[in-house]
Amino acid sequence: MFPFFQNLRQKLYDRSIAHSVSIRLSRLGIGVSPYIIYREDSSSINECPPFEPSIERVTLENCERLLSDFASELQVSPDAWRRQLQEGKIALVMRLRDESVGYTWATLRYYAPYHRRTELGPKQAYLTDTYIAKRVRNQGMATLMRHAMYRELLRRGRTEFFSVSDFLNTPAKNWKRRMNAMRLELRLALHLFHRWHADIRLRAYADVARHDAESAVP
């Protein structure tokens, strides 16, 4: 019985009951997705530990090789990665002992979570789709992966970073909190049968007003 309860506890941690219900509704063509927009703080790269796995930028030529190490865990094709690269998106892969163990993406033109498209300014970037292989999780790899993307974007002149987390995804929200990401808005995305879409702002967080006030202090 012990493995059963251990697996149950892990499932409850990874995905709340409400999140599971949301997924079931989505399969029926009914989407109800509350999510948070964050502004991330790249200054945390100064606190990065001295050891880092190697980072390789994804290209049209190497994407199949880099993606092959995730084949047992993910159903993502090299063609899907190539399409994103051709759209101007940026991807980095983390390598450890000559094996891909994580990847992350960023876009410089716009972000469109749940069908809501927002154009980005010349100094802005949207960070998305960070994945860490199961065999190396809980070792701080996601943070190292994020820091690598911060550095890549800063080299490109991008200084303001945004990301999104599902409101019901507690581990993701906790990680954003540890990364000192600032909550900007809580929004609700709705869709019916992939034909009707709506995106509603539920609230603007007080974190923003507090941060602006603190920044104004001489």
Is residue 148 within 8 A of residue 161, CB to CB? The reply is no
- Pairing type for strands 100-107 and 90-95 reads antiparallel
Whether 126 has a pLDDT exceeding 60, the answer reads yes
| Three-class secondary structure of residue 189 per DSSP | strand
Determine contact, residues 123/117, Cβ cutoff 8 Å. Answer: no
Query: SS3 letters for 91-105?
Result: EEEEECCCCEEEEEE
CB 184 within 8 A of CB 39: yes
Both structure tokens of 30 = 């009914």
Instruction: Mean pLDDT check: name the lowest of 71-85, 119-133, 198-212.
Output: 198-212
pLDDT of residue 29: 63
For 99-119, what is the mean pLDDT?
90
Q: pTM of the prediction?
A: 0.79
Evaluate whether the domain defined by 2-215 bears CATH number 3.40.630.30: yes
Instruction: Output the average pLDDT for the chain.
Output: 82
Which pLDDT tens digit goes with each residue over 175-217? 999 889 999 999 998 888 777 888 899 999 976 555 444 444 3
Pairing of strands 160-166, 124-132: parallel
Q: Supply the pLDDT for residue 20.
A: 64
Taking only the tens place, the pLDDT of each residue in 13-49 is 445 565 565 666 566 567 788 999 999 988 877 655 5
- The pLDDT of residue 100 is 92
User: In this predicted structure, which of 14-18, 42-46, 137-141, 149-153 has the lowest mean pLDDT?
Assistant: 14-18
Q: What is the pLDDT of residue 62?
A: 94
Q: Each residue of 104-113: pLDDT tens digit?
A: 999 999 888 8
Question: What's the confidence (pLDDT) of residue 216?
Answer: 44
